[in-house]
Amino acid sequence: MIGKVMKGKTFKGCVGYVLGKEAAKLLDADGVLLDSDNNINSITNSFNTQRLMKPNIKHPVGHISLSYLPDDKKRLTDGAMVTLAREYMQNMGITDTQYILVRHFDNENPHVHLVYNRIDNNGRVISDKNDRYRNEAVCKKLKDKYGLTYGKGKSNVKQHRLRGKDKTKYQIHTAVKNALSKSKNWSDFEKLLNQKGISLSFKYKSNDKSSDVIQGISFTKDDITFKGSEVDRSFSYSKLDAKLSQNTPQVTVKQPQETVNVQQAQEDHSGQSNMSSLFSFTGGGSVGRGDDYEEEQFAKRMQYEQKKINRKNKRKKGRSI
């Protein structure tokens, strides 16, 4: 269940659209006059008469489409659509006013159009404060209550049907998703987006661009800007940065496997130490330049130093005799 909230200036165009669609079916109505010959005119006149109680309101037309996934089509009888719409209206505070509910059949998604008068029956204005956020919360509540199907994500949205800002948002979503899979760093990411006509900008801590602390990101296409999280929850700066870090190859240096056995030097009859016994290496061969050249040179230096010590001790021993 997805609700799309709209407002308008004139009832004639809105009523004409929802009732003028091929096979459009009026499911429910309240507070309006119905005419078997021309419902569009009689309903429009009813709405216009009531709006005169608040003629200064520029957008008296409330228009909300409630759309459902094809998975729920068998459950969504006309009666079920009316029940859901009435409960939706109650939760949204759309009460005590004129409305019509019309079902359309022009695509595979079961959906209805709710048109209502924002000037209620007592001349008060039905508030539109935070209506888009409230709409999302109410739709979620009803989906959970009635076990309606949740969408599988933005990848299943038919973008060719979108218009205006919605179309731009999904174009950005697709471009960001593709660029993210091909980028190893922010430079790659920005370059790929620029190729699609999308620019990105960062929000710095305390709005100070000299600061190194980035708190947010925005995307702009065709002069329309969205925060990253508005396009998709996974497109916040922190989540994008974490993903790009994962894409960056980690360079590791594999060290040769070796085992160093330290043994106590055994003195031979000449008083010399067998220094070569201090180091033994595993790895399939003798120590050489191809295995570990530095270790070999270190062992040779140690042998040389030990020989010098032995010669010195030998000379001292000779003098004492």
CATH number for position 11: 3.30.930.30
CB 50 within 8 A of CB 119: yes
Q: Residue 260: how many CB atoms within 10 A of its CB?
A: 10
Residues 6+ apart with CB under 8 A from 34: 42, 43
Q: Find the largest Cα–Cα distance for the chain.
A: 138
My answer on whether 176 and 236 are in the same domain is yes
Q: What is the pLDDT of residues 78-95, one digit of tens each?
A: 999 999 999 999 999 999
pLDDT at site 250? 58
Nearest residue to 92 (alpha-carbon basis) of 127, 63, 60, 120: 127
Q: What is the pLDDT of residues 160-205, one digit of tens each?
A: 667 788 889 889 998 998 999 899 999 999 999 999 999 999 988 7
My answer on whether 138 and 34 are in the same domain is yes
Intra-chain end-to-end CA distance of the chain, in Å: 107
Q: Which residue has the tokens 């409960």?
A: 87
The residue type found at 121 is N
> Rounded distance, CA 63 to CA 14, Å?
8
pLDDT at site 302? 63
Indicate the DSSP class of residue 283. S
Q: Which residue has the tokens 């409305």?
A: 99
Q: Residue 176: how many CB atoms within 10 A of its CB?
A: 24
Element at 167 (helix H, strand E):
helix 164-182
Domain's final residue, options 91, 117, 151:
151
My answer on whether 242 and 310 are in the same domain is no
Q: Residue 159: how many CB atoms within 10 A of its CB?
A: 14
pLDDT at site 26? 96
Domain's final residue, options 247, 265, 300:
247
My answer on whether 291 and 267 are in the same domain is yes
Instruction: Give me the phi and psi of 193, to 5 degrees please.
Output: -70, -40
My answer on whether 49 and 138 are in the same domain is yes
pLDDT at site 299? 61
pLDDT at site 279? 34
My answer on whether 265 and 321 are in the same domain is yes
Per-residue pLDDT of the chain (321 residues; tens, 9 = 90+): 999 999 999 999 999 999 999 999 999 999 999 987 779 999 999 999 999 999 999 999 999 999 999 989 999 999 999 999 999 999 999 999 999 999 999 988 999 999 999 999 999 999 999 999 999 999 999 999 999 887 766 555 665 667 788 889 889 998 998 999 899 999 999 999 999 999 999 988 776 556 678 889 999 999 999 999 888 888 999 999 998 988 876 555 455 444 434 344 444 444 444 433 333 333 333 333 444 455 555 566 666 666 777 777 777 666 655
Domain's final residue, options 151, 177, 202:
151
My answer on whether 136 and 264 are in the same domain is no
My answer on whether 273 and 195 are in the same domain is no
pLDDT at site 301? 61
My answer on whether 273 and 218 are in the same domain is no
Number of domains in the chain: 3
My answer on whether 144 and 17 are in the same domain is yes
My answer on whether 171 and 292 are in the same domain is no
My answer on whether 197 and 290 are in the same domain is no
Instruction: Give me the phi and psi of 289, to 5 degrees please.
Output: -60, -30
Domain that holds residue 228: 159-247
